[in-house]
Amino acid sequence: MAVASRRTFLREVGLTCSAGALMGPKLMSKALAQTNASAIPGVTRVYVDNRRIIAPLERNLFGSFLEHLGRAIYGGIYEPASKLSDSNGFRKDTLEEIRQLGVPIIRYPGGNFVSGYNWLDGVGPKKDRPRVLDKAWDTIETNQFGTNEFLAWCKAAGALPLMGLNLGTGSSERAAALVEYCNLEKGTKWSDLRREHGIADPWKVQNWCLGNEMDGPWQIGHMTAAEYGLKAADAARQMRYVDPSLKLIACGSSGPFMPTYLEWDREVLEQCYDYVDGLSLHRYFGNNVRDTGGETQKYLAMNLSMERQIAETIAVCDLVRGHKRTSKKLWLSFDEWNVWYRTTSGDAVDGHRREAPHLLEEVYNLEDALLIGGLLNTLIRNADRVKIACLAQLVNVIAPLMTNANSVLRQTIFYPYSWALQFAHGASLNLFTESSTYEVTGLGQVPHLDVAGSLDAVNGEISLFVLNRDLAKQREVEVVWEDSAPSRERLMPGRLPAVT
Ligand code: AHR
């Protein structure tokens, strides 16, 4: 390992992770990260000061999502008939891959699916569970995998559950009943039902989503912002009567493409601000005519659009906070984000009343992986307000992992996700980056290099996550260690090849 000087040069292309072990790091308060056009064309400077911290990096920033959709559950993580499955029917290969990856939190069971889901169909003896039509994806749901199977699977995977509630066709009373079923020990109707179902100890699920994308006309039970805000407040109150320790997330806008974007969030929060802890955001990106005109340089800059979405949503949360004259600050749950644009219509989203059909099976390429790296950088830079985020989804459905009858396979987007999980520990660093820029319509001047960093105070390790958006050439990066230079440094092995 090389001993680093105060200024270190890294020559890189694509997406890179580098780490330096620092001597005696000190943590101090946050200031705004800035990016400037470099005076020396072609050279990028990253100023690292281990005293400049944005916020602690919650592990839940790198969560994921499993919906009853396509082959995510059936054939993805649960396949009792497979030779690869254990006695619970859990696919051992997928489970092990996810455990090793270290996914901290997993959202379940939807997604659009949850808004028509009756959780009672998915508990109790499997032979008695009904086959139902899932209207969200026109699929036959066998209910052989339900709440208890998911929570047991999560435990085995080392992940926390982020449970979604049906606020579409479901009532607040039924939502509170699920909390009682999952979290109370015994002596009440729903906790005793869980015990009858063979689960003696409560699961103690902490994080809950109050519905899914309720602003969308495509959503089962779609309603106005004021109606949803009132329902979310009522559900939250009833759920907290059962378990006051819950963390509750209200449904924010489904994305900036919605005509009600931000106005939805404001109206919802006017009704339920006092009863919830966080607000959700969703976003999917694509290199298509509508979003980027098929221009890769624009596509690779789209994480800056996510950055803007986060800033705008925080502004609305804080506006309502001002209206309410409360000291309570909401955090954000970016609980669906990914690249998704190739499998958004026709047979790719219609189950045609089959069981576990192949839906949303997007095949990812290199530029998708690069953008995923940029999106992760954006999440790291916004760790002060974004406390949960979920790469949507995890297996088979717009996913880093795909299964077939014999194995589990990694897609390109698996790699940047795995690097964030592996190296982004401790706290998010407030870096100052000087980079040359290029013009992108709608985004202005975009830096060629996108950099985020973390500092792990426990072992004194700094990690830098670098995305090179320059399609034409490699870039030289000069790292300026403002506080103390690392004793050694290394480039991480998992580099992606150059964009050609
Ligand atoms: O992740 C796929 C779908 O995208 C989810 O079901 C829905 O919430 C979103 O529109």
Q: What DSSP line would sit under 110-129, residue for residue?
A: -SGGGGG--GGGGSS-GGGP
Query: 112 CA distance to ligand 1 centroid (A)?
Result: 6
Q: Distance (Å, rounded) from C-alpha 310 to C-alpha 374?
A: 14
Query: 367 CA distance to ligand 1 centroid (A)?
Result: 22
* pLDDT at residue 42, as a whole number: 66
Residue 336 Cα: closest atom of ligand 1: 1
Give the N- to C-terminal CA distance of the chain in Å, as an integer.
Answer: 30
* pLDDT at residue 10, as a whole number: 56
Query: 111 CA distance to ligand 1 centroid (A)?
Result: 5
pLDDT at 39 over 60: no
Q: Whose CA is nearest to atom 3 of ligand 1?
A: 111
Cis peptide preceding 130, ω within 30 of 0: no
Instruction: Give the pLDDT mean for 163-168.
Output: 98
Q: Whose CA is nearest to atom 6 of ligand 1?
A: 111
Query: 113 CA distance to ligand 1 centroid (A)?
Result: 8
Q: Whose CA is nearest to atom 8 of ligand 1?
A: 111
pLDDT at 329 over 60: yes
Q: What is the pLDDT of residues 7-22, one digit of tens each?
A: 565 554 455 555 554 3
**Best mutation site among 213, 280, 338, 344 for ligand 1 pocket (most ligand atoms within 8 Å of CB):** 213
Which residues have CB under 6 Å of ligand 1? 67, 110-112, 212-213, 336, 392-393
Residue 360 Cα: closest atom of ligand 1: 2
Query: 236 CA distance to ligand 1 centroid (A)?
Result: 23
Instruction: State whether the Cα torsion 290-292-296-301 is positive or negative.
Output: negative
Residue 65 Cα: closest atom of ligand 1: 1
Q: What is the pLDDT of residues 240-296, one digit of tens each?
A: 999 999 999 999 999 999 999 999 999 999 999 999 999 999 999 999 998 999 999
Confidence band of 5 (pLDDT split at 50, 70, 90)? low
- Owner of token pair 């795909």: 402
Q: Distance (Å, rounded) from C-alpha 95 to C-alpha 173?
A: 33
* pLDDT at residue 22, as a whole number: 38
CB 371 within 8 A of CB 302: yes
CB 285 within 8 A of CB 341: yes
Two tokens, residue 23: 């001597």
Q: Whose CA is nearest to atom 2 of ligand 1?
A: 111
Q: What's the predicted TM-score (pTM) here?
A: 0.93
Residue 67 Cα: closest atom of ligand 1: 6
Query: 490 CA distance to ligand 1 centroid (A)?
Result: 38
Which are the catalytic amino acids?
213, 336
265: buried, middle or exposed (CB in 10 Å: 19+, 13-18, 0-12)? buried
Residue 137 Cα: closest atom of ligand 1: 6
Q: What is the pLDDT of residues 215-227, one digit of tens each?
A: 999 999 999 999 9
